[in-house]
């Protein structure tokens, strides 16, 4: 079998081009070796980096030099000082921020897609990336049981997916009222009423602000002990200029709003419902848990994320809109050099023009897992979160809200003690979880989102937390 460089010699005659390609192959090979070493050694170090490793990052804080540095030397420096200062998120004991790990097929696909260096904004620029994005998006719609004709694609994250859905909603509602945003902008436009739950996520509020809706003008509806909107308190006087934001998966409890009780009335009166489902929307992919998001498919738009619970790499948000025309109205871009008759040009579906072929990674993980594998991931991590909470409660900790999906909220006595436990646990190194505030109480938020997490990881992590707590009480 011929090597890559032997093949290169047969097809290329430009010595400069050949040398550059050989360098790229050598650096890519070296990067793979260092990445493999990182993966192999990460389970044997604390989850959080040491103080010395963080201090070592000062090596990067220097003026840019004049002369070039060899690529392999740059890579060696990056590995020597960057790798030790990372937080280990891919080995089953990281429970912070609803951050999943990376599924192996997705990790491999990211490497290949980087080598491809494709821009799928137009299919003409990358037929492969455009088709893979289309297929991956269709698989997502199928898994979530979305309505026929719904359109989806990938964004740089759930925040941008929320923003895209909210802008599509704004422009659609105004268009129905006879106001063309593309011609007249939003100054002087009819006022849109915006309604959210009290536990709306900061990402959704940020997206509203970027779309021109002031946070002070947003109406809030009370929520229950799990952060779910109280349907009995939801306004019944919405109209055709109303935008409602609901939530699938409260970031602290995993609870989802009562979609089936709220959405039909809003839509019957002409309003638009957008669902922020960064992680909780994936409950729809599990036959055992889809009842938790019953009625979510009745909405007009949805935002979710493949990097959280599905374990794609970061930069894998997903926007879903019921009507293709509503999405294109808001996102379409006109310029002579991007005119196209392609049926699904990505530049008309999100704010991105040039964009990474991010759908490749989600395609790879879905192809590897299949429908059953995705459901098993949702069910297993949810069961592990319940087991985690049970172990801590048996050890004397307090569970502040029922475990619904993969989130557990834990207090270790008063606020000061809980904060001290969180700080000490992060320093101890067995696992990592962060803090939050829930209904006035300081809490540790445990998110079981990494596909690599096992029952042994949960047992070891819970034991470490209780041990640290005991040490603080001595």
- What integer is the mean pLDDT of 227-241? 98
CA distance 418 to 166: 37
Find tokens 């940020």 and name the residue.
Answer: 206
pLDDT at 411 over 60: yes
77 with 442: CB under 8 angstroms? Answer: no
Question: H-helix or E-strand containing 243?
Answer: strand 242-247
pLDDT tier for residue 18 given thresholds of 50, 70 and 90: confident
Residue 152: closest CA among 169, 165, 138 = 138
- pTM for the model stands at 0.95
Residue 215 has a pLDDT of 85
Which pLDDT tens digit goes with each residue over 127-166?
A: 999 999 999 999 999 999 999 999 999 999 999 999 999 9
- What integer is the mean pLDDT of 433-441? 97
pLDDT at 76 over 90: yes
pLDDT tier for residue 9 given thresholds of 50, 70 and 90: low
Average pLDDT in the chain: 96
Number of C-beta neighbours around residue 29 at 10 A: 11
Which pLDDT tens digit goes with each residue over 282-321?
A: 999 999 999 999 999 999 999 999 999 999 999 999 999 9
DSSP-assigned letter for residue 217: G
Number of C-beta neighbours around residue 57 at 10 A: 13
The residues that bridge with 102 in the sheet, in sequence order, are none
DSSP-assigned letter for residue 81: I
pLDDT at 6 over 80: no
pLDDT tier for residue 11 given thresholds of 50, 70 and 90: low
Which pLDDT tens digit goes with each residue over 86-134?
A: 999 999 999 999 999 999 999 999 999 999 999 999 999 999 999 999 9
Percentage, residues of the chain above pLDDT 70? 97
pLDDT tier for residue 437 given thresholds of 50, 70 and 90: very high
Q: At what angle do helices 158-176 and 202-210 cross, to 10 degrees?
A: 50
- What integer is the mean pLDDT of 24-28? 95
Which pLDDT tens digit goes with each residue over 45-59?
A: 999 999 999 999 999
pLDDT at 7 over 70: no
End-to-end CA distance of the chain: 66
- What integer is the mean pLDDT of 182-210? 97
pLDDT at 5 over 90: no
Which pLDDT tens digit goes with each residue over 332-366?
A: 999 999 999 999 999 999 999 999 999 999 999 99
At 205, list the tokens. 């509020």
Residue 166 has a pLDDT of 98
């Amino acid at each position: 079998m011929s090597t890559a460089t032997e093949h290169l010699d047969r097809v290329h005659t430009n010595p400069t081009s050949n040398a550059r390609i050989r360098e790229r192959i050598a650096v890519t090979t070296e990067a793979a070796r260092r990445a493999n070493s990182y993966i192999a050694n990460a389970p044997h170090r604390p989850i959080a980096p040491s103080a010395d490793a963080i201090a070592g990052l000062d090596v990067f804080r220097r003026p840019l030099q004049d002369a070039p540095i060899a690529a392999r030397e740059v890579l060696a420096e990056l590995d020597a000082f960057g790798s030790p200062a990372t937080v280990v998120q891919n080995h089953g004991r990281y429970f912070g921020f609803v951050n999943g790990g990376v599924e192996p097929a997705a990790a491999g696909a990211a490497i290949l897609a980087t080598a491809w260096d494709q821009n799928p904004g137009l299919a003409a620029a990358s037929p492969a990336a455009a088709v893979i994005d289309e297929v991956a998006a269709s698989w997502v719609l199928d898994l979530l049981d979305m309505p026929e004709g719904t359109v989806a694609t990938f964004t740089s994250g759930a925040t941008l997916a929320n923003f895209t859905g909210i802008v599509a909603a704004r422009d659609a509602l105004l268009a129905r009222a006879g106001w063309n945003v593309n011609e007249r902008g939003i100054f002087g436009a009819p006022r849109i009423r915006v309604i959210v739950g009290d536990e709306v996520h900061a990402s959704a509020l940020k997206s509203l602000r970027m779309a021109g809706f002031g946070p002070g003008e947003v109406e809030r509806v009370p929520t229950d002990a799990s952060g779910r909107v109280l349907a009995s308190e939801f306004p019944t006087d919405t109209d055709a200029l109303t935008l409602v934001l609901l939530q699938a998966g409260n970031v602290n409890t995993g609870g989802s709003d009562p979609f089936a009780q709220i959405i039909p009335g809003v839509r019957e009166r002409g309003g638009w419902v957008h669902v922020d489902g960064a992680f909780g929307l994936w409950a729809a992919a599990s036959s055992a848990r889809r009842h938790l998001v019953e009625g979510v498919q009745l909405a007009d738009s949805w935002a979710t994320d493949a990097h959280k619970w599905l374990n794609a790499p970061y930069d894998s948000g997903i926007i879903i809109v019921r009507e293709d025309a509503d999405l294109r109205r808001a996102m379409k871009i006109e310029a002579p050099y991007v005119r196209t008759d392609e049926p699904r040009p990505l530049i008309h579906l999100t704010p991105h023009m040039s964009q990474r072929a991010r759908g490749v990674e989600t395609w790879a993980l879905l192809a590897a897992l299949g429908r059953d594998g995705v459901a098993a991931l949702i069910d297993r991590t949810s069961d592990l979160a319940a087991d985690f909470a049970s172990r801590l409660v048996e050890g004397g900790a307090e569970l502040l809200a029922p475990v619904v999906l993969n989130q557990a909220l834990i207090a270790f006595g008063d606020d000061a003690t809980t904060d001290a436990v969180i700080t000490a646990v992060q320093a101890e190194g067995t696992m990592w979880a962060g803090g939050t505030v829930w209904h006035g109480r300081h809490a540790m938020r445990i998110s079981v989102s990494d596909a690599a997490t096992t029952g042994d990881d949960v047992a070891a992590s819970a034991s470490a937390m209780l041990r640290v707590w005991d040490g603080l009480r001595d």
